[in-house]
Structure 1
Amino acid sequence: MSSSSFVSIRCLPSTSPPGIHPHRRPSILPTPHSVSTSGTSLGTTAHPGSSVGGIVDRTEPRVEERDGYWALKEKFRSGINPQEKIKLEKDPMRLFLEDGALEEFAAIPFEEIDGSKAGKDDIDVRLKWLGLFHRRKHQYGRFMMRLKLPNGVTTSAQTRYLASVIRKYGKDGCADVTTRQNWQIRGVVLPDVPGIIKGLAEVGLTSLQSGMDNVRNPVGNPLAGIDPEEIVDTCPYTISLSQFITGNLHGNTDFTNLPRKWNVAVVGSHDLYEHPHINDLAYMPAVKDGVFGFNLLVGGFFSPKRCEEAIPLDAWVSEDDVIPVCKAILEAYRDLGTRGNRQKTRMMWLIDEMGMDAFRVEVVKRMPRQVLERASPGDLVQKKWERREYLGVHPQKQEGLSFVGLHIPVGRIQADEMDELARLADEYGTSELRLTVEQNIIIPNIDNSRVEALLKEPLLQGRFSPEPPILMKGLVACTGNQFCGQAIIETKARALKVTEEVGRLVSVDRPVRMHWTGCPNSCGQVQVADIGFMGCMTRDENGKTCEGVDVFLGGRIGSDSHLGELYKKGVPCKDVVPLVKKILIEHFGAVPREREESEE
């Protein structure tokens, strides 16, 4: 693939939002940085052993005149955190950018690599720039591999390839749908990585820049291009953002040294399926002077130290400035963000330190024409909108076609199930699948005459039902301590068990979104759930240490979004079922099933 080529992911064309100029695909994209065969990115600090600007070996932090990629400003020479020191010691992107580096590295016996501090830093930190997360605590020598899947759109060929990767790892191999419309595959061993990365490229996928201090998977409307009520098709924007960030899958080293991770979303629906308020940058559709564009929200994030919703930047951009403003915001964050306490390095901390007005000035400085228009009052997202259900069968905007939303229990999938999903997408649709932030999957573009046959397929009659029990519909769970070394408790199996048990005790007449996360990092996003469960260690009634949860209540998504509040701390996991039953009855109108039966 040439450095100027784009990966082709088909999204159906969108009709124009009513009353504004016809929607145009973004027409102006900054040219992604080309990468030489020596692995040196233009405009960046030299890699050790190369020669750029007279610098032969970068063994010490180099300060450039401009705030560039590996530049370390004078104020950051002391007090930087350990992860920053690891990045300065060796550019994590070297393993990808330098010809043969990854193959050479992967051929070294794992224990030999792990036998030195530098090797451990490679395994546990730097490989995250290639989307590889070592499961040192629970699966020593094996990795989780996170992909980039903009807008959650994937193909049957991609799904089959991922299934073929995890199948060879037996019980250690599986896949997860994540809360960023993404795939994560598990069980990967280092010697296989070069071949896997090559195979990903052949089907139009990448794992590049998906972990650590990088931009995460761009999120969009899972119904983009097929939604009868959509405001705008988000696919062109999320794909362009991903291509820009990754340099068309070749690597864009301008944005691989952020102070911390960074999330972006493009909203295309009144339903706000994209959860814009928990992203560092969210594009909100808005019209200004008859021109379609986006108002911008910035700063949303979760962390153990602090959780905040995104707030307005007081800025509007046209379609043509979607990429330039992303670039400008990333550069401001990269150049000015603190590199000290990792719990205070997300972008909102910088905004608080500077003040929004000063932060906006820094963004404007980095825009191509140093101009950024003020926000438009012409928001296109309706403020009062009842969020629609996408599970089940629904008509598309294309006459005669429907999509079917499938429930994937807590997002966990095995290889055979992925193959079957691919077969169904081929046989009934157009070889396309859509992943959602609630860890579910949509099969689009099904001829109405074929819907009934699809619903009778064994996969849909079993675990992946389009009509799951009502309490299962909104269930989300992070990886938990089955694989993740940071998780305090097991989440996925426990979330299913608790929900099943509660469902036998009470009946509810509407979905209740319950989210589980194994630790305060909140990958399960408990703060936006109706009821959230965050793993912790606590004590039971006998004073014995046991696994428990902090319970959150009242999180909202949609136009009236807000974060939930802590309801009860340190609940032993064995006591969660009766507590949830109580919460559902008191706050969500649930009815005890024994009362229902006695009244009948």
Structure 2
Amino acid sequence: MPQLSHTVPSSSARPRTRLFAGPPTVAQPVETGVDAGRLEPRVEEKDGYYVLKERFRQGINPQEKVKIEKEPMKLFMENGIEELAKLSMEEIDKEKSTKDDIDVRLKWLGLFHRRKNQYGRFMMRLKLPNGVTTSEQTRYLASVIRKYGKDGCADVTTRQNWQIRGVVLPDVPEILRGLAEVGLTSLQSGMDNVRNPVGNPLAGIDPDEIVDTRPYTNLLSQFITANSRGNPAFTNLPRKWNVCVVGSHDLYEHPHINDLAYMPAMKDGRFGFNLLVGGFFSPKRCAEAVPLDAWVSADGVLPACKAILEAYRDLGTRGNRQKTRMMWLIDELVSNHSSFSAPLTPFSKLITLITDLSDQIGNSV
């Protein structure tokens, strides 16, 4: 692997975006300065699922209430979708629980009800790490769309994903089985879940590639969904969470607007990644990801992801949905870290919390 620096030469005359992976200031061990009560996890495991503790339920948003009333992942992991698919839309709308199923909880299965403009039809978002599909998979997706005639179509999204439209509820169990047969899933692709892992769209053929991102995005997706079986450890986040693996200096993956971005970097002759965290882009606020001041080896990609997700899951707030993305947690903890001082970057102040969860995160280069 090439050594990265601030002055990596370009093999092309065209203007290029530089990938800065040179040495930042290394965070030193410090006291957290955060009230111990604030560091108490707000969720707890019950019967295999994570739920919000009762004492943290005051002032929560409506979506959190829906999750408390009924665990969304049960629609998949306990086959609730099979019974729901047998009901007519009229029967579903008579009960709040089943109405919330189709309007909210089915998003954990990647299904979005188009109640306003296409009542009774759904958009199904897949999980396609790095945007890769085989010819067999593409033919299957085309067969699903074709069934719905003029109501059936597909989108290619900005996160290298497919969304198929026109789906009706009675067909969902069969579609899910068909997806599994060709190695696809729509699981955990909506609402308060980790979204599709993004990588270099030219992975494997980019002449200026630093690293082939496909193995890493595949690993992340398999880990997050427990190999498409469902992973309730990460299905009750405070909000959606985006992750990417950068493969070249072109930054196709937009690392600065991801909650976690892996930036390729060498340390002591070993290949690995520096971490950026907290970025997001929304109509209400745009926040650029900041360096975590941590480097992980290739083997540390999953432990680092796990540690950061657990910190966000356990400590994130669940009130105003406009203020529950991970950067808001960073802001809060940094403002309470009065004992921290320059030159530490903002999120490096949270590294002391995250390292409690995973000792496989090291100092960055």
Same fold (TM > 0.5)? yes
Q: Does the aligned pair in 1 maintain the 2:303–2:360 contact within 8 Å? A: no
Work out the CA distance in 2 between the residues paired with 1:139 and 1:363.
44
Correspondences of 1:375-524 after superposition (within 5 Å)? 375-376=364-365
TM-score (norm 2): 0.83
Corresponding residue of 1:142: 121
Match of 1:347 among 326, 333, 347: 326
Counterpart residue type for residue 45 of structure 1:
K
Give the secondary structure class of the aligned counterpart of 1:70.
Answer: strand
Work out the CA distance in 1 between the residues paired with 2:2 and 2:306.
30
Give the secondary structure class of the aligned counterpart of 1:232.
Answer: coil
Counterpart residue type for residue 364 of structure 2:
A
Corresponding residue of 1:244: 223
Corresponding residue of 1:164: 143
Number of residue pairs the alignment of both structures matches: 314
Match of 2:363 among 374, 394, 397: 374
Work out the CA distance in 1 between the residues paired with 2:182 and 2:98.
31
Corresponding residue of 1:18: 2
Q: Does the aligned pair in 1 maintain the 2:3–2:266 contact within 8 Å? A: no
Q: Does the aligned pair in 1 maintain the 2:193–2:240 contact within 8 Å? A: yes
TM-score (norm 1): 0.51
Correspondences of 1:487-566 after superposition (within 5 Å)? none
Corresponding residue of 2:161: 182
Corresponding residue of 1:72: 52
Correspondences of 1:11-160 after superposition (within 5 Å)? 17-18=1-2, 44-46=45-47, 69-73=49-53, 75-99=55-79, 101-160=80-139
Counterpart residue type for residue 216 of structure 1:
R
Work out the CA distance in 1 between the residues paired with 2:360 and 2:147.
53
Higher relative contact order (Cα pairs below 8 Å, separated by 6+ residues): 2
Work out the CA distance in 2 between the residues paired with 1:77 and 1:19.
49
Work out the CA distance in 2 between the residues paired with 1:292 and 1:263.
23
Match of 2:253 among 274, 278, 282: 274
Q: Does the aligned pair in 2 maintain the 1:44–1:253 contact within 8 Å? A: no
Moved >6 Å (runs of 4+):
none
Give the secondary structure class of the aligned counterpart of 1:365.
Answer: coil
| C-alpha deviation, 1:44, in angstroms | 3.8
Correspondences of 1:222-261 after superposition (within 5 Å)? 222-261=201-240
Work out the CA distance in 2 between the residues paired with 1:240 and 1:119.
34
| C-alpha deviation, 1:372, in angstroms | 2.6
CA spacing shift, 1:193–1:237, aligned 2, 3 Å: same
Give the secondary structure class of the aligned counterpart of 2:154.
Answer: strand
Q: Does the aligned pair in 2 maintain the 1:333–1:347 contact within 8 Å? A: yes
| C-alpha deviation, 1:358, in angstroms | 4.0
Give the secondary structure class of the aligned counterpart of 1:187.
Answer: strand
Work out the CA distance in 2 between the residues paired with 1:357 and 1:285.
18
Counterpart residue type for residue 345 of structure 1:
T
Match of 2:352 among 346, 350, 361: 361
Q: Deviations over 1:235-281 (max 9, x none)?
A: 11000000000000000000000000000000011111111111000
Work out the CA distance in 1 between the residues paired with 2:360 and 2:86.
50
Give the secondary structure class of the aligned counterpart of 2:274.
Answer: strand
Structure 1: state its 5+ residue gaps.
Answer: 1-16, 21-42, 48-68, 377-600
Work out the CA distance in 1 between the residues paired with 2:188 and 2:269.
37
Counterpart residue type for residue 175 of structure 2:
I
> Does structure 1 residue 311 correspond to structure 2 residue 295?
no
* % same residue: 77
Counterpart residue type for residue 156 of structure 1:
S
Structure 2: state its 5+ residue gaps.
Answer: 5-43, 335-346
Q: Give me the CA root mean square deviation.
A: 1.5
